[in-house]
């Protein structure tokens, strides 16, 4: 089985570049020129990557990028924790959409600290209050950032 | 001229300009620390406040604020892996890796000291280059600027990953960045490209939500998986000592610091390329300075040279980008375009006047950059212990706070929820790239350079047709791009042969 994230990325880029090239065909030449010049070679490069993943199996090139430390956490635990993290991130976004920033921030902080981090109620409430006060004081009161209201409030 | 130089210093040190500069520094300090809240945005917000100020007071305020944003942006990037500024993303690669190894103090020391050296060189460039640089800038037309963008992309794509496979991924990532830069209204014909009939996408993908997602979300997930503090179980160590080590690192690699500062200054001088390009080019150059395969593997794993390079370039570009702004009224970046607005608000006209009648004002800008950076770096060193100790705070307390900052940083770009959605999408892309071992630097550079490159290519073809390819500087830059791609392959083969023989 090839390196799954690399495979997904390769397939994704193939799809995106193919779509980009096909969509560009409908535009006037001066609009389509650059997208075509980029998307066609990109499709070829992504195809080479996907094919070579199948041929040579899982390969992980050494990048000059931040790299994960050697696995200290077992694979299943890591997968579960990744899913939980993704769930919290998406949940926070959903809360912002529903309630707006001003309500979603304290709700998320309190819920995360109490139920995910398993901090005590007292710590969770105090920590949430302090962070929320800084957030409100800086972004809302001082900088007047126009926070949109949520769908419910 | 010497008299004007000293006049500039004396006028900046007068109580009113100094006070305005300090207010600007305090603002810039926090703007830099907060992810997403950009220096350019803050400059725009502060512009109305300069009505009624004298030119030297106004520039002390605006430049004092702007020139420290990148310095404190490095702190957020190193400690949390969240780009404090779009221009401080490259420093994450090694700076945050060092923080994870318990070397936050050293990384911060190196970043701050290289930033200071970079700022000095940028300021010196502003003072010295104005009479010299005019013919150079005027000789660079669209074809040369297009090729410069291509060299930048070739540089980072070829150097950001090891071996032929890594290079393939580097170029694919760069191509994806270029492709995504085309989202939005086509600048030539006004056709909406890849917008899916969404008004939000008409202006294209903003850099901040993309960068914040690409770098911060994978870090947060990684932190949640490990369940420890950023520095893990490793002791953060004696930070002041670590910071001193970082300062020594800057001077140990002094020529690298100088070279990267010059790269930043040069990119700053070239109008339209911007600070985001400077840091990645400097990072690429720092990575190239590794002599052995073993050394090269250290980049991305916490090599201090990966901190010094972008740190120096990021600050030196400020002085550089002021050169075309002051001398020709051609802004070198978005922030400089806003600053140009400041000139007109104050009744000043950039150009020859700034080099003759208002020479003192020009030199006061040089001194403001120098003084603001000295004050900021000193303040940062004083609070370093507290700042770096944040890496030993347990992950479960940091994650929700960072996530709030990430979402706010992203949202403030356009004040739309779609910005957060973009962050989430690119967070997933970033996570996949890290998991798959793909470099993110070429992707970012492609995204930054895409629109610029397309514009320059279009103008080059429209103005010169095919003849633009034969211009001498274009030929030299093309040859440089080929060398940048071919040299790492040849060097890898030579090393492999040498290792096989040994």
Helix (H, G, I), strand (E, B) or coil at B185: strand
Residues of B (457-486) whose Cβ lies below 8 Å from A: 457-458
Extract the runs of DSSP E, i.e. beta strands, from B273-431.
Answer: none
pLDDT confidence tier of residue A105, bands split at 50, 70 and 90: very high
- Both tokens of residue B97? 């890796």
Question: What is the spatial distance between Cα B252 and Cα B445, in angstroms, rounded to a whole number?
Answer: 29
Phi, psi dihedrals of residue B184, rounded to the nearest 5°: 115, -175
Closest CA to A6 of A45, A53, A42, A44: A53
Contacts of B467 (CB under 8 A, 6+ apart): none
Of B96, B401, B438, the CB nearest to A131: B401
Name chain A contacts of B399, Cβ cutoff 8 Å.
85, 88, 112
Task: Indicate the SS3 state at residue B9.
Answer: helix
Q: Residue A98: pLDDT above 90?
A: yes
In angstroms, what separates the C-alpha of A153 from chain B's closest C-alpha?
Answer: 15
- Please report the pLDDT score of residue B2 as a whole number: 73
Supply φ then ψ for residue B36, to 5 degrees. Answer: 85, -30
Chain A partners within 8 Å of B156 (Cβ): none
Q: How many CB atoms lie within 10 A of CB B332?
A: 26
- Walking along chain B (502 residues) 10 residues at a time, the average pLDDT comes out as 78 86 85 65 68 83 83 80 71 84 85 88 78 65 82 72 76 92 87 90 85 81 78 56 82 89 83 68 81 72 86 83 73 68 75 74 84 85 73 80 85 87 93 85 79 84 88 89 80 74 70
Confidence (pLDDT) at A63: 55
**Mind telling me how many Å the CA of B71 is from chain A's nearest CA?**
21
Q: Which of residues 49-88 of B touch A (CB under 8 A)?
A: 81
Among B175, B193, B226, select the one facing A73 at the smallest CB separation. B226
What's the confidence (pLDDT) of residue A122? Answer: 94
CB contact at 8 A, B193 and B184: yes
Q: Are B338 and B325 in contact (CB under 8 A)?
A: no
Q: What is the helix (H) or strand (E) element at residue B343, kind and residue range?
A: helix B334-345
Is the minimum CB–CB distance between B10 and chain A shorter than 8 Å? no
Smallest CA–CA distance from B438 into chain A, residue? A63
| CA nearest to B482, candidates B474, B492, B493, B471 | B474
- The alpha carbon torsion through B341, B206, B312, B6 (nearest 10 deg) reads 10
CA B327/CA B131 separation, integer angstroms: 9
The shortest CB-CB distance from B179 to any of A16, A82, A148 is to A16
Categorise residue A150: left if φ over 0, alpha if ψ from -120 to 50, beta otherwise: beta
Do B380 and B387 touch, CB atoms closer than 8 A? yes
> Of B286 and A16, which is predicted with more confidence?
A16
**What are the phi and psi torsion angles at A65 (to 5°)?**
-150, 170
Q: Which residues pair with B192 in a beta bridge?
A: B185
Q: Is B421 on the interface with A (CB under 8 A)?
A: yes
Which pair of tokens denotes residue B343?
């000139």
What is the DSSP secondary-structure string of chain A? Answer: ---HHHHHHHHHHHHHHHHHHHHHTTS-HHHHHHHHHHHHHHHHHHHHHHHHHHHH------BSS--PPS--S-HHHHHHHHHHHHHHHHHHHHHHHHHBHHHHHHHHHHHIIIIIS---HHHHHHHHHHHHHHHIIIIIIIS---PPB-S--
**Domain map (residue ranges) of chain B:** 2-501
Altogether, the residues listed in chain A come to a count of 153
Cα distance between residue A11 and residue B235, in whole Å:
42
A117: closest chain B residue by CA: B396
B234 vs B361: CA distance, rounded Å: 50
Write the pLDDT tens digit of every residue in A28-76: 988 898 899 899 999 999 999 899 888 876 555 555 554 455 556 777 8
Task: Identify all chain B residues contacting A113, using CB atoms and an 8 Å cutoff.
Answer: 396-397, 400
Look at chain B and count its residues.
502
| Binary contact (A45, B175; C-beta < 8 A) | yes
Cβ contacts of B191 on chain A, cutoff 8 Å: 27-28, 31
Cα–Cα distance, B447 to B195 (Å, whole number): 16
CA distance B326 to B129: 11
Q: Which two tokens stand for residue A52?
A: 């070579």
Count of other CB atoms within 10 angstroms of residue A48: 14
State the pLDDT at residue B209.
84
Q: What tokens does B193 get?
A: 């490209």
Say how far apart CA B82 and CA B68 lie, in whole Å: 18
Dihedral sign, Cα of residue B312, residue B313, residue B315, residue B317: positive
Question: What is the per-residue pLDDT for B271?
Answer: 60
Name the DSSP class of B27: H
């Amino acid at each position: 089985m090839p390196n799954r994230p690399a495979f997904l990325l390769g397939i994704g880029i193939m799809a995106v570049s193919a779509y980009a090239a096909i969509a560009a065909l409908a535009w006037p030449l001066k609009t389509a020129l650059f997208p075509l010049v980029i998307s066609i070679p990109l499709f070829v490069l992504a195809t080479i990557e996907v094919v070579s993943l199948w041929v040579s199996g899982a390969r992980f090139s050494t990048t000059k990028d931040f790299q994960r430390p050697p696995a200290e956490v077992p694979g299943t635990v890591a997968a579960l924790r990744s899913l939980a993290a993704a769930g919290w991130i998406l949940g926070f976004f959903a809360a912002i959409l529903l309630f707006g920033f001003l309500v979603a921030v304290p709700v998320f902080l309190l819920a995360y600290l109490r139920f995910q981090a398993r901090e005590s109620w007292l710590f969770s409430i105090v920590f949430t209050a302090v962070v929320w006060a800084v957030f409100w004081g800086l972004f809302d009161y001082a900088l007047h950032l126009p926070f949109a209201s949520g769908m419910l409030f | 001229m010497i008299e004007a130089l000293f006049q500039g210093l004396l006028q900046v040190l007068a109580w009113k300009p100094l006070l305005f500069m300090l207010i600007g520094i305090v603002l810039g300090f926090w703007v830099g620390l907060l992810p997403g809240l950009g220096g350019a945005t803050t400059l725009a917000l502060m512009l109305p406040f300069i009505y009624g100020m004298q030119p030297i007071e106004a520039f002390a305020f605006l430049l004092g604020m702007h020139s420290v944003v990148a310095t404190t942006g490095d702190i957020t990037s190193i400690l949390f892996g969240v780009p404090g500024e779009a221009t401080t993303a490259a420093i994450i690669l090694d700076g945050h890796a060092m923080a994870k190894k318990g070397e936050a103090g050293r990384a911060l020391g190196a970043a701050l000291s290289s930033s200071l050296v970079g700022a000095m060189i940028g300021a010196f460039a502003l003072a010295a280059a104005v009479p010299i640089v005019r013919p150079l800038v005027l000789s660079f037309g669209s074809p040369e600027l297009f090729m410069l963008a291509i060299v930048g992309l070739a540089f980072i794509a070829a150097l950001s990953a090891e071996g032929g496979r890594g290079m393939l991924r580097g170029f694919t990532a760069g191509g994806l960045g270029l492709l995504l830069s085309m989202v939005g209204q086509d600048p030539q014909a006004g056709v909406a490209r890849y917008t899916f009939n969404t008004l939000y996408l008409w202006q294209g993908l903003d850099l901040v939500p993309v960068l914040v997602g690409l770098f911060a979300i994978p870090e947060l997930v990684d932190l949640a998986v490990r369940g420890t503090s950023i520095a893990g179980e490793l002791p953060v160590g004696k930070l002041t000592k670590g910071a001193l080590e970082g300062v020594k690192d800057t001077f140990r690699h002094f020529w690298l610091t100088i070279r990267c500062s010059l790269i930043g200054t040069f990119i700053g001088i070239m109008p339209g390329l911007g600070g985001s390009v400077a840091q990645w080019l400097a990072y690429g150059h720092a990575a190239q300075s590794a002599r052995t395969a073993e050394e090269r593997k250290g980049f991305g794993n916490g090599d201090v040279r990966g901190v010094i390079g972008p740190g120096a370039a990021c600050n030196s570009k400020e002085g550089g980008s002021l050169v075309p702004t002051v001398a020709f009224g051609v802004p070198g970046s978005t922030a400089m375009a806003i600053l140009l607005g400041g000139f007109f608000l104050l009744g000043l006209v950039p150009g020859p006047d700034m080099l003759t009648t208002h020479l003192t004002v020009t030199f006061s800008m040089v001194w403001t950059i120098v003084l603001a950076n000295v004050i900021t770096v000193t303040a940062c060193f004083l609070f370093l212990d507290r700042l770096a100790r944040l890496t030993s705070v347990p992950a479960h307390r940091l994650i929700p706070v960072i996530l709030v900052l990430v979402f706010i940083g992203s949202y403030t770009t356009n004040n739309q929820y779609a910005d957060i959605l973009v962050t989430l999408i690119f967070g997933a892309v970033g996570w996949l790239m890290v998991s798959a071992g793909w470099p993110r630097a070429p992707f970012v550079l492609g995204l930054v350079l895409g629109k610029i490159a397309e514009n320059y290519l279009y103008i080059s073809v429209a103005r010169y047709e095919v003849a633009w390819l034969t211009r001498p500087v274009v030929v030299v830059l093309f040859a440089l791009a080929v060398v940048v791609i071919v040299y790492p392959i040849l060097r890898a083969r030579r090393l492999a042969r040498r290792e096989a023989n040994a």
